[in-house]
Structure 1
């Protein structure tokens, strides 16, 4: 569920669910689940452009990764996403590449395949197109003639980045025009960004601008700060003046604090919030006392106005 919420752009809900799952895993000593949740949290932090620290080394050996390949795949994807967000594209390629064996067979039967466009993007940055193209071809063969819509879009995106240059625009268009792709807003925005970068390198800035503007809007709405800045820089380079993105005032709050703030902004009293979140009224009051100065407000009315502008 956490993975689905991240992929479909419902990141605030993912925060809340992952926090709940982490608590349950800790209480019941479900070490396997703890690592899965931590890997997803790192992935989400990296996508937001926040410092993302992978679980300590023991996490990689706390469960048998050969027997728990989904956990292994999530750890590798998180490490690759964090490396790419930090600008370490060699590290990103190395981690995404480990999702497949030497012949291109997937470590995990569907999680590995979903990282094929991430692998291609890292390869494009590091000059390892041929190796990535071999993996893309292996994935296409493994999925057969009728892959899912999601995998079809990801394969076109990956092929545009690593395949024959004369076919790149064809694949980029197929990766970005199907309206069903809007169900996965991050992947769709990344495809548009990469297509626009390809167009700019071919001195077609007018064609790149609408793609960049749409990608920037998607990244900003999601809260993908690093990717939004990359899109904004590409827009400036294409001749469009852009303004800095407004900071998200809730970004520095915990998932529980965000829940409390949203409910308070809706007009609920502390006791009502406490009942809904299964907390004590004193805990709710304590959180609001600490959160108000961070948000620059002093009342629920101001809080409602602030959230109404977001």
Structure 2
């Protein structure tokens, strides 16, 4: 699919004969490829006598472009057009002793998962679906609160892109003016002395309304908030470099306590009445930020409780 999408990415008309010649297949094979693109949500305009075109220009992810955008030279890169899960692919890569740090990305993910097992829709070649892995010495205690620091990293990138009103919602959502723009999911491959952490990030760059109709919360994207949709290669390079910096800090002892104030400056729930839902119970109280371990501080009946991650969601009581 990538081959024909690359040819159509200029949004100009291309005849079936031209496309077939470029790819080295028959016109019938081109027709099947175009039907496949349409079946996965890519809009293709067909005009008799002129050929086929995409309604808008498209920029695909490429390692050379990522390097041109300044991606850290130590990061190994794997780009696929379609995969089940970049987190799953990266986990397999780690099990095969692949070198770290590593960045796995794709243009279409068909089995992506967010927190609590929810599916995550990313469209085709319009958003960022990425997984980043780093190896830590010293066991799992070293990475306590890392997911919150990753939220700070994503917020920093959005700042650099010119997005205003970026907020963080404990534990793993990034919002813009109350609407979700990115989600974070961490997975760990650990033994006694070391652990490898996989950071999965889904960032809305350019969403289509019909693809998001099933989402049960307000959402937004970069395209609707900037004069021009940014090159995903640039955004991805910025994100990966921020993750390198954070992981280096955690490796050197600058953990979540170092990022605590940065996170709380963007805390959208701070001092708000909230309902915290976990398995089998609901707790109502007032959110009072996070502690030095990244736990949510919940005030109930004049007492502060520390709530850790896992199967926990936070909603304002008036939502």
TM-score higher than 0.5 here?
Answer: no
TM category, shorter: under 0.3
Asked which structure has the greater RCO (Cα within 8 Å, sep 6+), the reply is: 2
- Scaled by the length of structure 2, the TM-score of the pair is 0.26
The structure where strand makes up a greater share of residues is 2
TM-score by length of 1: 0.27
